A = this chain, B = another copy of it.
Amino acid sequence: MLDLTGIYPPICTPFNQDQSIAWDKLEQNMKKWNQEDLAGYLVQGSNGEYCYLTEEERIEMIRVVKSLSPDKLVLAGSGCESTMATIKMTNAMAEAGADAAMVITPCYFKNKMSPAALEQHFLAVADSSPIPVVLYSVPANTNIDIPVDLVARLAKHPNIIGIKDSGGDITKVGMLVHATAGSRFQVLAGSASFLLPALSVGAVGGVCALANVLPAKVCELQTLFNERKLEEAKSLQHRLIPPNSAVTKNLGVPGLKESLDWFGYYGGPCRKPLLPLTPQESQGLKEAFKSNGFL
């Protein structure tokens, strides 16, 4: 069983000004991240702008990241809208070096994505995947929330080993851990904003956008919790919320990329239609880092 314990940044895909992938900048970022205490990387979560990449780019990204970070876990976001495309992509990413596949809920036909439809989808992918599957629930983008009951059923599949839950419903995080106890299913918090509360109810780590820019700090929060330094953990959690909320809820990938530049990484532009921050947004974001002592 793959041990998912730890912190994973859902890494940004760096683009040049002409919107092509900036492979050199990716290498530069990876080398810097590799020095941190991160468990690995999520390649092609939402923050990887995976929905803007071509099939070829998606697979190549996995190959390059794994080759640059052979000692880290590479979780590959392999989800597509159709089951057949997801299976094909999952296999291609496995071949490219992914350690596990993170499979998002299909979401275009949201009214038809019943528990039965999602169950069939995830089981078909898990059955045919050569690597373990991690479920990926991100209702802010998909409007689909995988129900706890369904997760409990899917957790019994030997090739489904965990879930990244980005919904922010801490009760659900607790229920997921409770409902899958006994299996070796692992729950990852989907955001640094509720990492400490999630750890307190049994999450094993987190996939945290903020770990792109503040990897050491996010890792430190888990360490403080493990060492039962609860007051320090609470204080650090508080400080992480404002910049994290800014780059996840309010400003999204353009905000995350702009802040990468402030911390010695390459951020660069997003693919369109994502717009760069306005000067006012940019200033507010900088303030969220500054007032909490990170800049």
- Interface positions of A (Cβ within 8 A of B): 19, 46, 51-52, 54, 81-85, 106, 108-114, 116-118, 120-121, 124, 140-141, 143, 168-171, 174-175, 177-178, 181, 191, 193-194, 196-198, 200-202, 228, 230, 233-234, 237-239, 241-242, 245, 249, 252-254, 271-275
Contact B273 A174 (CB under 8 A): no
Contacts of A83 in B (CB 8 A): 271-273
Look across to chain B and name the residue whose beta carbon is closest to the beta carbon of A104.
Answer: B108
Instruction: Tell me how far the C-beta of A58 lies from the nearest C-beta in chain B, rounded to whole angstroms.
Output: 13
> Bound complex: CA of A84 vs CA of B270, how far in Å?
12
Contacts of A19 in B (CB 8 A): 84
Contacts of A198 in B (CB 8 A): 197
Q: How many chain copies does the complex carry?
A: 4
Given A230-B200, A238-B202, are A112 and B174 neighbors across the interface (CB < 8 Å)?
A: no
Contacts of A120 in B (CB 8 A): 272-273, 275
Look across to chain B and name the residue whose beta carbon is closest to the beta carbon of A142.
Answer: B108
Look across to chain B and name the residue whose beta carbon is closest to the beta carbon of A143.
Answer: B143
Contact A275 B116 (CB under 8 A): yes
> Bound complex: CA of A162 vs CA of B139, how far in Å?
30
Contact A51 B174 (CB under 8 A): no
Contact A200 B202 (CB under 8 A): no
Contact of A271 (CB < 8 Å), options: B51, B84, B118, B200: B84
Contacts of A118 in B (CB 8 A): 273
> Bound complex: CA of A284 vs CA of B36, how far in Å?
48
Contact A194 B168 (CB under 8 A): no
Contacts of A193 in B (CB 8 A): 171, 174
Contact of A171 (CB < 8 Å), options: B113, B191, B233: B191
Contact A141 B109 (CB under 8 A): yes
Contact of A109 (CB < 8 Å), options: B124, B237, B253: B253
Given A81-B52, A196-B200, are A46 and B108 neighbors across the interface (CB < 8 Å)?
A: yes
> Bound complex: CA of A101 vs CA of B15, how far in Å?
28
Instruction: Tell me how far the C-beta of A181 lies from the nearest C-beta in chain B, rounded to whole angstroms.
Output: 8
> Bound complex: CA of A174 vs CA of B118, how far in Å?
33
Look across to chain B and name the residue whose beta carbon is closest to the beta carbon of A105.
Answer: B273
Look across to chain B and name the residue whose beta carbon is closest to the beta carbon of A108.
Answer: B51
Contacts of A116 in B (CB 8 A): 275
Contacts of A84 in B (CB 8 A): 19, 271-272
> Bound complex: CA of A238 vs CA of B187, how far in Å?
14
Given A82-B51, A175-B241, A252-B112, are A170 and B141 neighbors across the interface (CB < 8 Å)?
A: no
Instruction: Tell me how far the C-beta of A212 lies from the nearest C-beta in chain B, rounded to whole angstroms.
Output: 16
Contacts of A178 in B (CB 8 A): 238-239, 241-242
